[in-house]
Structure 1
Amino acid sequence: MRARSTDEKGVAFSSSATYRADGSGEIDLDRDPSLRGSYVGVEPMGLLWSLKADSLHKYFYKTKSLNPHVVKFSVHEEEGEEGRMLAEATNERVLIGEGVSRRRVKEGNFQGVLFTPPGEGPFPAVLDLCTFMSEKRACLLANKGFVVLAVAVYIDKPDNDKEMYLDHFEEAVDFLRRQPKVGSEGVGVISLSKTADLALSIASYLPDVGATVWINGCCGNTALPLYYKKRQILSPLLFDSSKVIPTESGASNIKYGMYNPLAEENRGSLVPIEQAKGRFLFVASEDDLNWDSKGYMEEMVERLKRHGKKNYESVSYPGAGHYLEPPYGPYCPSSFHGVVGRPVLWGGEPRSHAAAEVHMWKKIQEFFRTHLSCDAPQTKAKL
């Protein structure tokens, strides 16, 4: 069996697996193991998460919600390029659910895309922070009964930004709270990578944040100084390019490239999470090669404990890499880093990473439903 897909930038991805059919010529992916190919063992969604780019260091770009993720599946008589095709089918993985509305928003100092579920509500509200604009996660959360506003941290090239303003994200939170179908008292925030330290600041300085999901981020404010109400509140934790480790693949290992946020000269970058009123869910991949996410998570847990706080839960995933996203997208071992400006290794092992994404996706939904109080009856999370 083979799968083929092309992302929004025209990059081709493919995967394959060899199965032994039963006496009637059938294969059940829930029961039958792949014997060899892109993965082995019983993996019903393996052909999707093992999709691999035909060229090195490529991330699968699927950022637009209105276009489905199209995958061509085919069955061949035998392995290799010569194997005669027996059947082919095209599968469209639709991102935006039936009845979910999508609206571009540009108000004041922020812009984004708002997704609203069908029905009267009230629904919990979530601010989805993206490093660069992507509608995928926000749209999929809206399918599950959340009003979600996706906002990018970098609108332009990162080099063009000299500072960041918390006030702009406060405007986004206020906008979300004013939406007619929103019923939660507090807003949720979900984040990954650079946006995770920004999410910590939003939770720590703004009063209307009820629940924050931090995924593979830092405990300090990174890259740019953060301003709020016309004054700098956090200094930037910077990157030490001398600590970049090149590899034969052409992608660099940058895991220990950030300066130590606990060093005396860098403590001005540490986000004062102990003053946050809402709940935290910390999610860390143990094999993250972008930076030491698990170490940063442990530091934040210790910080909250020292302040007598119990408003957090944490989970870490062995064998998972940096890019933890909604499940069943192609695993990305390396790609161009938009902020560092070179290809980097993201870490992880494909099968473990895929399993972590499945577990995390359910946990995020249950976390938000538990801590963003809403009058409407909520259903238990399903993928």
Structure 2
Amino acid sequence: MSSQVRLRLLPRARCMFDEPVQVKVAGLRARQVVTMRARSTDDKGLVFSSSATYKADGSGEIDLERDPSLSGSYVGVEPMGLLWSMRADTLHKRFQIKNSLNPHVVKLSVHREEEEEEEEGEGRMLAEATNERLLIGDGVSRLPIKEGNIRGVLFTPSGRGPFPAVLDLYILGGGLSEKRASLLASRGFVVLTVVAYGYDDMPKKIKGVHLDYFEEAIQLLKKQDKVGSKGVGVLSFSKTGDVALSIASYLPGVEATVCINGCCSNTVLPLYHNKSQILPPLMLDISKMVPTESGAFMSKNVMHNSLAEENKATLVPIEQAKGRFLFVASEDDLNWDSKAYMDQMVERLQHHGKDNFESVSYPGAGHYLEPPYGPYCPSSFHAFGGTTVLWGGEPRSHAAAEVHLWRKIQEFFRTHLSCDAIQIKARL
């Protein structure tokens, strides 16, 4: 490495996963062209990487907030492009960090351009730095839950509270994912993330969704000492979107529900409450899966028509809900037609004279909307569908959508989860 070249991460190299960092390089020759690289390894040992070509200014400096990438994994001015553009060497892999205690460690480096390396070796490293991106904030407690039927993890912020409470539904796909819950708790919410199968002593497979389980989870969450909200929020994504709609529609005590790229019907699995089936499932037609050259399938049109007469019994009666909804749809979702489903939800509520909702859609975003600055995932194995599918999205637009949505979710919950004391100030 060159002793003169410096790679800095501002305001600090250690930050929260959902926080941006400013990447700056100094000590280069005037207008020197270099390659910047990022590299990280997920919980499964898969290596993800990105690279971009930059040209220093007259002072030999590069600032990713100011300077455009000329080529590589992305082009243009993208301050966090090195992080969200990281990809695995093999196709159809999603970056996974499920345990909140494991930080997202990104190795950033600056290299000479290859054509300059005739004598010194290809792409010699000039400087490097490590960005440690934490999934759980200082003072946030993490408590594994095995109480009654509930299996999951409870995250509680530091301080006396009271705090608003959120039930995080990352229940499908088997196993437990803590990332979204721990990050939300780090922003001032008590969050319980639960799992429905494939974890601990739970069944390995799921045959139906039982609202009784979530009713029990809500009661467990509401009795926590630091919880101040009268009701709870529910955060959902994809299939769990219709689960969240059903929770809000059939169970008491739900004040605010976020449905990200969900369906207006109960999908795939029958829905039960008090040992009785209350909604049949909207099923899918596998023959409508479209193969692509990459080996992944496009499944956007596989679901049966939710509005067809024979399927109307699967529609979730969201007009029964007492709380507020935030409907979110990605317009380039290739998993299913999230935008059409969102429009149907809005139309249903308006038809019943309801205005207890807001909606947001993101052009160019794909199905997998997660907390921001993680590697964008265009395709991966669909645990519920049992095959590899395209999620859709244009990387730059998708990354921007994740930044906007993460703030929107926090604002929505803070606004609609009423606490007995003064609302916690947003730490955005």
1:137 partnered with 2:180: yes
Deviation at 1:186, TM superposition (A): 1.0
Is the contact between residue 333 and residue 365 of structure 2 (CA under 8 Å) also seen in structure 1? yes
RMSD across aligned C-alpha pairs, in angstroms? 1.4
SS of equivalent to 2:51:
strand
Alignment-derived partner of residue 107 in structure 1? 147
2:77 maps to a residue whose letter is V
Alignment-derived partner of residue 11 in structure 2? none
What are structure 2's unaligned runs of at least 5 residues?
1-35, 116-120
2:425 maps to a residue whose letter is T
Counterparts in 2 of 1:270 and 1:30: CA distance versus 1, 3 Å: same
Alignment-derived partner of residue 304 in structure 1? 349
Give the alignment partner of residue 399 of structure 2, picking from 351, 354, 357. Answer: 354
Is the contact between residue 198 and residue 205 of structure 2 (CA under 8 Å) also seen in structure 1? no
Please show how residues 272-311 of structure 1 align to structure 2 within 5 Å: 272-311=317-356
Give the alignment partner of residue 26 of structure 1, picking from 61, 65, 71. Answer: 61
Is the contact between residue 196 and residue 206 of structure 2 (CA under 8 Å) also seen in structure 1? no
Sequence identity (%): 73
Give the alignment partner of residue 120 of structure 1, picking from 160, 164, 167. Answer: 160
Deviation at 1:381, TM superposition (A): 5.0
Tell me how far apart the structure 2 counterparts of residues 121 and 220 of structure 1 sit (CA, whole Å). 37
* Offset from partner CA, 1:197-255 (integer Å, 9 cap, x none): 00000000011000000000111111111110111000011121011000110000000
Tell me how far apart the structure 2 counterparts of residues 116 and 165 of structure 1 sit (CA, whole Å). 26
Tell me how far apart the structure 1 counterparts of residues 357 and 261 of structure 2 sit (CA, whole Å). 15
1:379 maps to a residue whose letter is K
Give the alignment partner of residue 129 of structure 2, picking from 89, 103, 108. Answer: 89
Deviation at 1:380, TM superposition (A): 3.4
Give the alignment partner of residue 236 of structure 2, picking from 191, 194, 199. Answer: 191
The runs of 4+ residues in structure 1 deviating greater than 4 Å are 156-159
* Offset from partner CA, 1:63-108 (integer Å, 9 cap, x none): 1100101111110011589211111222211111000000000122
Alignment-derived partner of residue 242 in structure 1? 287
Deviation at 1:290, TM superposition (A): 0.5
Is the contact between residue 187 and residue 426 of structure 2 (CA under 8 Å) also seen in structure 1? no
Count of paired positions: 382
What are structure 1's unaligned runs of at least 5 residues?
none
Deviation at 1:158, TM superposition (A): 9.2
Give the alignment partner of residue 75 of structure 1, picking from 107, 110, 127. Answer: 110
Tell me how far apart the structure 2 counterparts of residues 121 and 10 of structure 1 sit (CA, whole Å). 38
Counterparts in 2 of 1:185 and 1:275: CA distance versus 1, 3 Å: same
Give the alignment partner of residue 189 of structure 2, picking from 146, 158, 165. Answer: 146
Counterparts in 2 of 1:78 and 1:242: CA distance versus 1, 3 Å: same
Alignment-derived partner of residue 71 in structure 2? 36
Deviation at 1:263, TM superposition (A): 1.3
Is the contact between residue 123 and residue 376 of structure 1 (CA under 8 Å) also seen in structure 2? no
Q: Normalising to structure 1: TM-score of the pair?
A: 0.97
1:363 partnered with 2:408: yes
Alignment-derived partner of residue 162 in structure 1? 207
**Higher Rg:** 2
Is the contact between residue 168 and residue 192 of structure 2 (CA under 8 Å) also seen in structure 1? yes
Tell me how far apart the structure 2 counterparts of residues 87 and 346 of structure 1 sit (CA, whole Å). 35
Q: Which moved more, 1:250-259 or 1:159-168?
A: 159-168
Give the alignment partner of residue 324 of structure 1, picking from 369, 384, 389. Answer: 369
SS of equivalent to 2:311:
helix
Q: Which moved more, 1:226-235 or 1:155-164?
A: 155-164
SS of equivalent to 2:228:
coil
1:376 partnered with 2:416: no
Is the contact between residue 19 and residue 34 of structure 1 (CA under 8 Å) also seen in structure 2? yes
